[in-house]
Amino acid sequence: MHIFLKATSISLIYFSVNLLVALGHEPEAQLPFGRPHAHDSVEGHAHLGWESRYFSEGRDSLDGDSLFAGSFEMGWKHLAGGVWYGYSPDRRYDELQLTLALTQTIGDFDFYGGYTHLRFPFDGSHDNEIGAGVAWSGLPMDIEVAADLYYSFGADGYFAEISAGREFSITDRLALNFSIPFGINQGYVADGHDGSNNVALRLGLEYALSDSISVTVHSTYSWALSRDATSPGDDQLIDFFHGGVGLQWSF
């Protein structure tokens, strides 16, 4: 199963967490790319992190095993791209992602579309995905809503996610963010059920050690929806909690 898997560092965490969501998977610390945004100047971001579990499409994809991941991504004008690599110390699993996206901002709306190439060196397989989405930040209380969809050529199916979230500045150095995503599977997990997939609650903290370096901690609880016990792809679709820590450099 694939993962696709955002003040300067806050916006870059959002950018990096969202470039992969947009192009492939839920926004976790180990999934540094997500819904990209346009930037007037060149901006970059690097990340190293550890996850207690590998969360993908609402599933505990490595059956409780952990994941280390690192990434590097950059954005300029309407172009964003990056490299992500994840490795599990508990089993023979690794994953490489190469992502490129185009962005457009119109008023309170951010749009994107992009492509991701995935490789799994341990088993010699690969996949290609395209993704698209929109985010709207015009709601009261600084709440943002977003819709993302990504399609896998290997599975010949797509996964969609609708989410709402907000960020809070607790102090000049400490920020809290939360989001509530709702996932829908339609052939992306080929041997799983189609339709309502999962809903989750995510909470994250970021502490800025300097203008460019920050530490992040996050936790997520996901609830499975409409699980089909007779579908092999739903074996890992369970209610579960996981968390992670990371170190980020923004420039």
Residue 2 lies in a domain: no
The mean of the pLDDT values for the chain is 86
Among 30, 4, 24, 36, CA closest to 216: 30
Q: How far apart are CA 116 and CA 155, in angstroms?
A: 14
| Number of domains within the chain | 1
Residue 1 lies in a domain: no
Mean pLDDT of 117-128: 92
Predicted pLDDT of residue 42: 86
CATH of the domain at 60: 2.40.160.40
Residue 26: pLDDT band with limits 50, 70, 90? very low
3-state secondary structure of 11: helix
Q: How far apart are CA 132 and CA 85, in angstroms?
A: 22
Query: 202 near 72, Cβ under 8 Å?
Result: no
**Percent of the chain surpassing pLDDT 70:** 84
Predicted pLDDT of residue 37: 58
Predicted pLDDT of residue 38: 60
**Percent of the chain surpassing pLDDT 90:** 78
Residue 230 lies in a domain: yes
Residue 202 lies in a domain: yes
Predicted pLDDT of residue 11: 37
Residue 228 lies in a domain: yes
Q: How far apart are CA 168 and CA 157, in angstroms?
A: 36
Give tens-digit pLDDT for 34-88.
556 566 678 898 999 999 999 999 999 999 999 999 999 998 889 999 999 999 9
Residue 160's domain spans which residues?
A: 8-250
Give tens-digit pLDDT for 156-209.
999 999 999 999 999 999 999 999 999 999 999 999 999 999 999 999 999 999
